[in-house]
Chain A
Amino acid sequence: MDLNTLWFVLIAVLFTGFFVLEGFDYGVGILLPFVAKTDSERRRVINTIGPVWDGNEVWLLTAGGAIFAAFPHWYATLFSGFYLALFLILVALIVRGVAFEFRSKDRNPAWRATWDWAIFVGSLLPALLFGVALANLLKGVPIDASKNFVGGFFDLLSPYTLVAGLASLALFTTHGAIFLNLKSTDPIRSRSLAMTKKIGPAATVLLLLFVVGTYVWTDVYARLGANPGLVPVLALLSLLSAGYLIHQERMGWAFMMTTLAIVFSVATLFMALFPRVMVSSLDPEWSLTIYNASSTPYTLKIMSMVAGIFVPIVLAYQGFSYWVFRHRITAESKLEY
């Protein structure tokens, strides 16, 4: 495997980590208005992700930094091309992050309601838009010969990308509902179980549509043939078994399965994309690939060494943090937010 491929895989792994981790905390944010009826319940819901959401978000920042360092043309085309979509994501992430810190620091109900609303919208919008954005990498957007995006915001919206966005939204919400069920006590626990049963089937249908759509609306069939391989099938199977496990109320295993569904979905997308990083809808020759968009072998080598040393360290202490906060948030828990 050359370094360009290694970095493609690493960036896919960073996105996977981001979606698995921030996926459930987006889900929790989206569910906040539906599973919590009183202020103390809302505080408990937020406290399930309180210690970890910021660290989860760093997976995105690291993925962004890694794209910049390893594939500068990908970074430049993607960020300038998906301009307004990224602006919306930024606004969402800003209000959401501030809301977590600020919402409980004043007892005025209007103050708290405003920030809770910010948490809801700030979680919903990225959960939807990240799916739309990633699907656009594969479906193709107007990129010209000099690697510049020449379309507009509405070029990003199509049936396929909207299905992908709704699939990521539903998948993260299900993932978050299971997480919340694992981390809370009644009544939040039973309400989030009810939510998984409502949204889980929708997520499964949308994920199926996304996989089918990948064959209908992109060049995957032409490039890779009819046999989808194991990965998209595993994505669907994971989600179906999550549904089964939810009905058995074996929620720990169900959470493992939604995690795998996210892992395999992101893998499906990146495998279909490889070795391209952004498909040009104008001319396949103008697509950005891991070779024509990349940094020099020297930079990739340096970055590989840095990642080789520090990624395991980061995983170790982030894992430690999850272990420290492994217990359920109960009505008796001290609430820090």
Chain B
Amino acid sequence: MDALTLARWQFGITTVYHFFFVPLTLGLVWVVAGLQTAWYFTGDEIWKRLTKFWGKLFLINFAMGVVTGIVQEFQFGMNWSEYSRFVGDVFGAPLAIEALLAFFLESTFLGLWIFGWDKLPKLAHLAAIWLVAIGSNVSAYWILVANSFMQQPMGYAIRNGRAEMESFWALISNPHVSVQFPHVITAAMATGAFFVLGISAWHLARAKDEETREAFRRSFRIGAAYGFVATIAVSVVGHTQAQYMTRVQPMKMAAAEALWETADPAPMSLFTVGHEPERRDLFAVKVPGLLSFLAHNRFSGEVKGIQNLQAEYEAAFGPGDYVPPVMWTYWNFRVMVGAGMLMLLLAAWALWGSLRASFESSPWLLALLVPAITLPYIANSAGWIFTEIGRAPWIVFGVMRIESGVSPGVSAAEVLLTLVGFTLLYAALMAADLYLLAKFAKAGIHPPALGAADEPELGTAGAVRA
């Protein structure tokens, strides 16, 4: 494999891996902040125990998100130096601002939160977790400003052989980020909600003591309401985003539907086995007019197909292949939407159960919600793979092709070495992360003592351990 292919794999692997942790951080932090707020106002000890319980899981996950995020910031320069040179005047700014506005905020106040239980006044300590929540979500905004520039470049001009910033305002108010940011944030909330639901369900199916049951009853209700609102929201903003993408990146959406030829009305594919080199269906099940409806809110209306767009792009950008890998795009889009729909159904069921107080006696619901923790992870990963691969062959849509962005001085052997290195390291860390998450999730609201091996009484004295 050449350096380009290896660098793409490295970006794919490290980014998808990084984004295993980010959504849970973004979504769960609001739960922790909300629980601590409930404790602050009611003084009810169960809220405090829940804050500690979900807070501990939050921290285990947060650490992984932070350290894998460093790779992301370095990687653009390491593997994609020509890209960095070409877009740095525009693209560097949101990354620097992200560090200055968001990373400092979340890391400093998280330190204050973890270690400040006895050192800060209660209100200041509560404020710390809210600032962590704001910091991490602000960080998502800035990194999506950067990604939106790659999806739909705005606020720049090509001068002196590179993209130069014309309008900072146009860059940060890119309409693409105003559909992408809500989609990512609500998806993260759904991730947090399913995490809370799944672990609460696990305990409700097993726990005997009333304190644990009460704690996870409350968690379950919170998770159900949060999950229902989040999955509805992620669907609505996802639909809006898809309609928007049909206008600004029609090729990506045509590939997402395996729509080879322009059609009016356009059918929606439920299942397609395609012949990609010849750009035709081998076997397909389609619903007539549905794609037109999704794109235009009516059952007629043109949706452009891959072949026609290819011709348009050739006219605009010169000869070349402008079609992304269709099956990757098609199936990842379907996996994302499919997982999202399952989540919507499960969240609705969980909410119904909690409104009728029947959820504790519904073994099916409780059993299903545990493996359902993985659904948002599947949807999040598939969504990013879809949107990044669907942009191919562009690294910056319409401006720079992927192969032009790779570092010319870095050899295939070097990329391979770091690719293998990161992958092995990440696999080992994933094992440790899952071990700890499972251990603390199962331990419930009475966590095990973690004191020093030589002085057990010392460790248990610190009942307030983050």
**Which residues of A pack against B, CB within 8 Å?**
38-40, 42-43, 47, 50-52, 54-55, 57-58, 61-62, 64-66, 68-70, 72-73, 75-81, 83-84, 86-87, 90-91, 93-95, 97-98, 100-102, 104-107, 109, 112, 147-150, 295-296, 298-299, 302-303, 306-307, 310-311, 314, 317-318, 321, 324-325, 331, 334-336
**Contact residues in B for A104 (Cβ distance below 8 Å):** 450
B88 touches which of A69, A83, A307, A317 (Cβ 8 Å) = A69
**Contact residues in A for B117 (Cβ distance below 8 Å):** 336
Q: Is B165 an interface residue (CB 8 A)?
A: yes
Task: Decide if B452 touches A306 in the complex (CB within 8 Å).
Answer: no
Task: Decide if B63 touches A97 in the complex (CB within 8 Å).
Answer: yes
**Contact residues in A for B116 (Cβ distance below 8 Å):** 51, 324
Alpha-carbon distance between A101 and B67 when the two chains are bound, in angstroms: 11
Q: A148-B408, A321-B108 are in contact. Are A94 and B429 (CB under 8 A)?
A: yes
Task: Decide if B115 touches A331 in the complex (CB within 8 Å).
Answer: no
Task: Decide if B165 touches A52 in the complex (CB within 8 Å).
Answer: no
Given contacts A54-B110, A69-B95, A86-B78, 15 further A-B contacts (CB under 8 A): A39-B454, A40-B459, A54-B107, A55-B108, A80-B410, A94-B68, A95-B425, A102-B436, A107-B448, A112-B453, A295-B88, A298-B165, A314-B105, A318-B104, A331-B458
7 contacts between A and B (CB under 8 A): A38-B454, A58-B108, A68-B77, A69-B97, A302-B168, A317-B104, A324-B112
Q: Is B175 an interface residue (CB 8 A)?
A: no
Alpha-carbon distance between A114 and B387 when the two chains are bound, in angstroms: 39
**What residue of chain A has the Cβ atom nearest to residue B111's Cβ?**
A51
**Contact residues in B for A298 (Cβ distance below 8 Å):** 164-166, 168
Q: Is B103 an interface residue (CB 8 A)?
A: yes
Task: Decide if A80 touches B168 in the complex (CB within 8 Å).
Answer: no
B425 touches which of A39, A94, A105, A335 (Cβ 8 Å) = A94
**Contact residues in B for A87 (Cβ distance below 8 Å):** 78, 417-418, 421
**What residue of chain A has the Cβ atom nearest to residue B458's Cβ?**
A40
The contact string, 1 if C-beta is below 8 Å from chain A, for chain B 76-108, is 111101101101111111011111110111011
The contact string, 1 if C-beta is below 8 Å from chain A, for chain B 193-212, is 00000000000000000000
Task: Decide if A296 touches B453 in the complex (CB within 8 Å).
Answer: no
Q: How far is the CB of B86 from chain A (nearest CB, A)?
A: 8
Q: Is B134 an interface residue (CB 8 A)?
A: no
Task: Decide if B67 touches A97 in the complex (CB within 8 Å).
Answer: yes
**Contact residues in A for B408 (Cβ distance below 8 Å):** 148
Q: A40-B458, A295-B88 are in contact. Are A84 and B414 (CB under 8 A)?
A: yes
Alpha-carbon distance between A145 and B387 when the two chains are bound, in angstroms: 36
Give chain B's interface residue range (CB within 8 Å of chain A). 35 or more
Q: How far is the CB of B136 from chain A (nearest CB, A)?
A: 13
**What residue of chain A has the Cβ atom nearest to residue B450's Cβ?**
A104
Q: Is B11 an interface residue (CB 8 A)?
A: no
Alpha-carbon distance between A151 and B436 when the two chains are bound, in angstroms: 42
Q: A50-B111, A80-B79 are in contact. Are A335 and B436 (CB under 8 A)?
A: no
Q: A54-B107, A321-B112 are in contact. Are A306 and B97 (CB under 8 A)?
A: yes
**Contact residues in A for B111 (Cβ distance below 8 Å):** 50-52, 54-55, 321, 325
Task: Decide if A100 touches B455 in the complex (CB within 8 Å).
Answer: no
Task: Decide if A334 touches B77 in the complex (CB within 8 Å).
Answer: no
A334 touches which of B88, B93, B109, B118 (Cβ 8 Å) = B118
Task: Decide if A40 touches B89 in the complex (CB within 8 Å).
Answer: no
Q: A61-B73, A310-B101, A336-B465 are in contact. Are A91 and B421 (CB under 8 A)?
A: yes
Q: Is B39 an interface residue (CB 8 A)?
A: no
Q: A39-B454, A58-B104, A94-B67 are in contact. Are A50 and B115 (CB under 8 A)?
A: yes
Q: A83-B414, A94-B70, A317-B108 are in contact. Are A70 and B92 (CB under 8 A)?
A: yes
Task: Decide if A55 touches B104 in the complex (CB within 8 Å).
Answer: yes
Task: Decide if B93 touches A76 in the complex (CB within 8 Å).
Answer: no
**Contact residues in A for B162 (Cβ distance below 8 Å):** 72
Alpha-carbon distance between A187 and B454 when the two chains are bound, in angstroms: 16
Task: Decide if B89 touches A105 in the complex (CB within 8 Å).
Answer: no
Q: A107-B453, A303-B96, A306-B100 are in contact. Are A90 and B429 (CB under 8 A)?
A: no
**Contact residues in A for B168 (Cβ distance below 8 Å):** 298-299, 302
**Contact residues in B for A314 (Cβ distance below 8 Å):** 100, 104-105, 108
Alpha-carbon distance between A231 and B267 when the two chains are bound, in angstroms: 73
Task: Decide if B114 touches A149 in the complex (CB within 8 Å).
Answer: no
**What residue of chain B has the Cβ atom nearest to residue A57's Cβ?**
B107
The contact string, 1 if C-beta is below 8 Å from chain A, for chain B 210-250, is 00000000000000000000000000000000000000000
**What residue of chain B has the Cβ atom nearest to residue A104's Cβ?**
B450
Q: A40-B458, A77-B81, A317-B108 are in contact. Are A50 and B410 (CB under 8 A)?
A: no
Task: Decide if B425 touches A91 in the complex (CB within 8 Å).
Answer: yes
**What residue of chain B has the Cβ atom nearest to residue A61's Cβ?**
B99
Q: A40-B455, A69-B93, A72-B85 are in contact. Are A81 and B103 (CB under 8 A)?
A: no
**What residue of chain B has the Cβ atom nearest to residue A42's Cβ?**
B452
Task: Decide if B452 touches A64 in the complex (CB within 8 Å).
Answer: no
Q: How far is the CB of A323 from chain B (nearest CB, A)?
A: 10
**Contact residues in B for A102 (Cβ distance below 8 Å):** 60, 63, 432-433, 436
Q: Is B439 an interface residue (CB 8 A)?
A: yes
Alpha-carbon distance between A104 and B19 when the two chains are bound, in angstroms: 25
CB proximity to A under 8 Å, residues B45-88: 59-60, 62-64, 66-68, 70-71, 73-74, 76-79, 81-82, 84-85, 87-88
Alpha-carbon distance between A148 and B407 when the two chains are bound, in angstroms: 9
Task: Decide if A295 touches B89 in the complex (CB within 8 Å).
Answer: yes
Alpha-carbon distance between A311 and B92 when the two chains are bound, in angstroms: 17
Task: Decide if A80 touches B407 in the complex (CB within 8 Å).
Answer: yes
Alpha-carbon distance between A52 and B114 when the two chains are bound, in angstroms: 11
Q: Is B367 an interface residue (CB 8 A)?
A: no
Q: Is B461 an interface residue (CB 8 A)?
A: yes
**What residue of chain A has the Cβ atom nearest to residue B110's Cβ?**
A54
**Contact residues in B for A42 (Cβ distance below 8 Å):** 452
**Contact residues in B for A107 (Cβ distance below 8 Å):** 448-451, 453
**Contact residues in B for A61 (Cβ distance below 8 Å):** 70, 73, 99, 103
Task: Decide if A79 touches B71 in the complex (CB within 8 Å).
Answer: no
Alpha-carbon distance between A109 and B409 when the two chains are bound, in angstroms: 44
The contact string, 1 if C-beta is below 8 Å from chain A, for chain B 158-192, is 00001011101000000000000000000000000
Q: Which 5 A-B pairs have the closest CB atoms?
A: A72-B88, A79-B77, A65-B96, A69-B92, A40-B452
Task: Decide if B462 touches A73 in the complex (CB within 8 Å).
Answer: no
**What residue of chain B has the Cβ atom nearest to residue A39's Cβ?**
B452
Q: Is B273 an interface residue (CB 8 A)?
A: no
Q: Is B285 an interface residue (CB 8 A)?
A: no
Q: A64-B73, A64-B74, A90-B70 are in contact. Are A149 and B88 (CB under 8 A)?
A: no
**Contact residues in B for A47 (Cβ distance below 8 Å):** 115
Pick from B79, B119, B458 the residue with the most CB of A within 10 Å: B458
Pick from A94, A106, A310, A317 the residue with the most CB of B within 10 Å: A94
Q: How far is the CB of A261 from chain B (nearest CB, A)?
A: 25
A68 touches which of B84, B164, B410, B421 (Cβ 8 Å) = B84
**Contact residues in A for B452 (Cβ distance below 8 Å):** 38-40, 42-43, 335
Alpha-carbon distance between A102 and B62 when the two chains are bound, in angstroms: 11
Task: Decide if A65 touches B98 in the complex (CB within 8 Å).
Answer: yes
